[in-house]
Amino acid sequence: MYKRITLSAVLSLCSVFPAESSVAHTGDLDSLFVNAVSEASVPGISVAVGENGHVRWARGYGFADLESHVPMTRKTKLRIASVSKVITAAALMRLKEQGIIELDTYVSSLVEAWPDSHADISLRQITNHTSGIRHYQSLGEFLYNVEYSSTIDALDLFKDDDLLFYPGTDSNYSTYAWTLLAAAMESASGTEFKKLVQEEVFDPLNLKNSTFDENSPIISHRQRAYSYWGGSLINSPEVNSSYKYAGGGMLSTPSDLVRFAMSHLDSGYLSDESLSELFSPGTLTSGEEVSYGIGWIVDFVSLSDWYDPEEDAELIRIIEEHPNIKLMSGEGVGGSTMLMLCPDHARSISVVKNVDSDQTADLVELSLKTLDIFHNKN
């Protein structure tokens, strides 16, 4: 029995907007996403394709706000959920290159508020999800709506909980761990986390449509958030991302995300050494490799194991033709995201929708098919 991947996609109406640059065969691409947003569970989808350092194509489909009939456009700022982690990872590597921080440093030496009773955890173990720090353990935590004034205060959510295992001996995905990473980065640099990301990632890469999902500020072109629960599309409950800015609390556009990803194709923004570390799989103390490097999922080919060889032959073919893809996905309240980087062909794909828990529009499938259209027809 094969397990099908459903990382997200959902919607009812569709509106198409001009691309950033013209490409051939936009009809195939439009059909793909028009169909994706034709479902009643999908408010809107935004997509961008980057190639050789430039955004080749970017469009919005459906609605950013259903009630006010605001169309989804390539400028709509969307909740990118856990894709925030690879942005944090880039800021971390910039600090490393400046000699400010080391990946194998124990967090206890940087974060005084972290309990001494825990076993030593390195920053590297946080980034490849081998720290032993827990993830959400209830829907209530996923829907958390408390404003934290600082990263240190947000540690109160989980810092006194037992580790799931001794660090480095097993793997378990954890967004909370990235809040601890943010606290360590603040301590090492003397700079507040949001300011640090602005200075080390958003500004140098000119990501003008990327920011933090803060509740109080008026943020232009911000999406409306939806959830598909119990067979109905609803307005998502209000949540607060102040406890997880580093691991799941940023807003961006697919165009900004592919620009960000393409900055990882060659040394320049980051060094060759940093890029190698980012994309090398982490290892357990047993020597076994895990699927994550520094934030990024680096074991792409194994994705084909999730698909049925007969029913999903097309998707398996695409995966096998692009075996070195690096990716990160995310699903948070009111948003689902996929970001892929194909270093072999200097391309990046990002697909984001403003809904969570929808199973009708699979972002993995949409991203792979978009990649295939560009690879074979442009």
pLDDT for res 24: 56
Q: How confident is the model at residue 312 (pLDDT cuts 50, 70, 90)?
A: confident
* pLDDT bucket at 1, cuts 50 / 70 / 90: very low
Say which range, 21-30, 113-122, 264-273, 279-288, has the weakest mean pLDDT: 21-30
- What is the chain's mean pLDDT, rounded? 92
Provide the whole-model pTM. Answer: 0.93
Say whether pLDDT at 21 is over 80: no
Domains of the chain, by residue range, sit at 26-377
Pairing of strands 70-71, 226-229: unpaired
3 state SS for the chain: CCCCCCCCCCECCCCCCCCCCCCCCHHHHHHHHHHHCCCCCECEEEEEEEECCEEEEEEEEEEEECCCCEECCCCCEEECHHHHHHHHHHHHHHHHHCCCCCCCCEHHHCCCCCCCCCCCCEHHHHHCCCCCCCCCCCHHHHCCCCCCCCHHHHHHHCCCCCCCCCCCCCCCCCCHHHHHHHHHHHHHHCCCHHHHHHHHHHCCCCCCCCEECCCCCCCCCECCCEEEECCEEEECCCCCCCCCHHHHCEEECHHHHHHHHHCCCCCCCCCHHHHHHHCCCCECCCCCECCECCCCECCCHHHHHHCCCCCCHHHHHHHHHCCCCEEEEEEECCEEEEEEEECCCCEEEEEEECEECCCCCCHHHHHHHHHHHHHHHC
Q: How confident is the model at residue 6, as a pLDDT?
A: 30
Q: What is the pLDDT of residue 141?
A: 86
CB atoms within 10 A of CB 272: 10
Q: pLDDT-derived band of residue 305, with 50, 70 and 90 as boundaries?
A: confident
Rounded Cα distance between 153 and 59, Å, is 39
* CATH number 3.40.710.10 given to 26-377: yes
Rounded to whole angstroms, the Cα distance separating 95 from 99 reads 6
pLDDT in tens, 102-161: 999 999 999 999 999 999 999 999 999 999 999 998 888 889 899 999 999 999 999 999
Q: Per-residue pLDDT tens for 29-86?
A: 999 999 999 999 999 999 999 999 999 999 999 999 999 999 999 999 999 999 999 9
**Residue 271: pLDDT above 90?**
yes
Per-residue pLDDT averaged across 174-192, rounded? 98
